[in-house]
Chain A
């Protein structure tokens, strides 16, 4: 009762935040940045001070002022607002890709690791040969058929990232399934599904999570790249990849602010996701071993 009546002081909230044990300083910075980008993706469009698509050609390449901290792009749109809106479109695609690739990859890998034999052998063969085929190229081919747009690129990249996820999960699952407790549970008559869902999957989850966070980083690169090439998200949407493509014209005319700011956003985001993903993976491998 008292808890409900006591107003939550900011200082109290802050005090509940503690360093994560076993994580280094860089890891903590990465966690904070990932949280920041997640907030931007969720609330960016709400806190953006201006309409990202309000064109004002008289302000083309205008410099920064108090209300427009980064200035204006070629069409006189507020770069800062466009960056905030861009966060959502830059992360939404990768998030769907990661969810799809993780689910599909995990299912394939665990079925293969559990059933062994020809199913696993065929699966391993397909996974190995598909790794030689860059996801970017697959996405380009899908766009060639279905036409440009975020849906086609997300579907293509979900397929392209499935083998990467499956490969990592497969080796972890094989080690986990060979452990004694699985044999013991089998002898006791637990079904394969129960053992996998209750024991195997939770135990390899840190590895899956690490790989998933890394995949966010690489999928962000790919989606932004495809949008930059005009194959992904289509203008005039505010997206970091599109801002880079638009900004390239500005660069040539000596106004690099749009391209530079969108580029830096991408680099920092990818850096934080890959640093965090690496650390989770390492921790997961240590736990599994």
Chain B
């Protein structure tokens, strides 16, 4: 167990190191010299050029520059935004709450809707199952930016139940503002959980050990809860973990559609506004989150499946 965990953490660190190197080196893949790339044709004072040269350690050898940059990054020093003349870390902190709240709301919605309808489809064969399957297909094929616009059109502009744009002020208002974005992301992601829930619950329900449980006179509710759902929770939580990265990436689109000040929209505006330090920092942050998520998924898997624990401790 301990050794397996250590191996997973090493892989995680290597992934972050590799990705961070690519993110760092990408600056030098860009055409032209780094300073003109960073300033992107904006009028630049000699002071700004000097500051950029110092920030990126442009006078040092390449590898040394990378080590400097990554050390600074892990101390929270991501440099300064070129477009907004503010420390990148301030921008990230200003944008983080919206994204975190949006991800939490979406995760709750996706899991509840996915497991609920997946479970119903698993046990109600016939028209109900067919209907849910058709809904999943259409829903999965609806990109988040399309559903965002449809939702704005119907619930914000048409019915006026929700605000059209913006993040809101206090916590209640923030949640109110994030309902439609969360629903838009949920439309794209619940079928992923739903299909897994349906398939795994159906598979578990036909397993022999469920027959044993039935032969012992246990109630159907008990069997579904303690045997079918308990066992299906393993593949379901794995898929939740695996879709987490895609879901976080998806926030970039809905945050832009709803003009929310989140991390994703920060990434997009920094890319379109050619604000490279910000884009680098957000990308590094996201990659780290994804790599850590992978470790968490493995741990979750081990916590839910005793067979995995045994095979780990044997290794």
Contact = CB atoms under 8 A, between A and B. Distances in A.
Do the two chains bind?
yes
B141 A217 contact: yes
A1 to B, nearest CB: 49
A133 interface: yes
Interface residues of A: mostly helix, strand, loop or mixed?
Answer: helix
Given A129-B11, A231-B268, A144 B279 contact: yes
A263 B150 contact: yes
A277 B29 CA distance: 36
Given A137-B283, A144-B276, A263 B146 contact: yes
A224 B143 contact: yes
A251 B157 contact: yes
Contact of A266 (B143, B267, B274): B143
Interface in A138-184: 140-141, 143-148
Given A137-B249, A141-B279, A263-B149, A254 B141 contact: no
Interface residues of B: mostly helix, strand, loop or mixed?
Answer: helix
B19 interface: yes
Contact of A146 (B30, B138, B257): B30
B169 to A, nearest CB: 21
Interface stretch (B63-71, B226-234, B286-294): B286-294
Nearest to B146: A263
A231 B271 contact: yes
A111 interface: no
A251 B253 contact: no
Nearest to B241: A132
Given A225-B145, A254-B157, A274-B137, A132 B294 contact: yes
A17 to B, nearest CB: 25
Interface string B238-265: 0000100110111011001100000000
A231 B257 contact: no
A281 B157 CA distance: 41
Given A145-B29, A146-B30, A274 B145 contact: no
A259 interface: yes
Contacts of B116: none
A267 B293 contact: no
- Choose among B144, B153, B245 the residue with the greatest number of A CB atoms under 10 Å from its CB: B153
Contact of B245 (A134, A140, A244, A274): A134
B272 interface: yes
Given A132-B15, A248-B149, A248-B152, A271 B141 contact: yes
A252 B152 contact: yes
Contacts of A27: none
A260 interface: yes
B26 interface: yes
A132 B149 contact: no
A247 interface: yes
Given A263-B146, A263-B149, A143 B245 contact: no
Contacts of A129: 11, 15, 294
B271 to A, nearest CB: 4
A209 interface: no
A134 B249 contact: yes
Contacts of B287: 133
A256 interface: yes
B145 A228 contact: yes
Given A131-B242, A137-B286, A248-B149, 4 more contacts: A132-B290, A136-B250, A137-B249, A266-B143
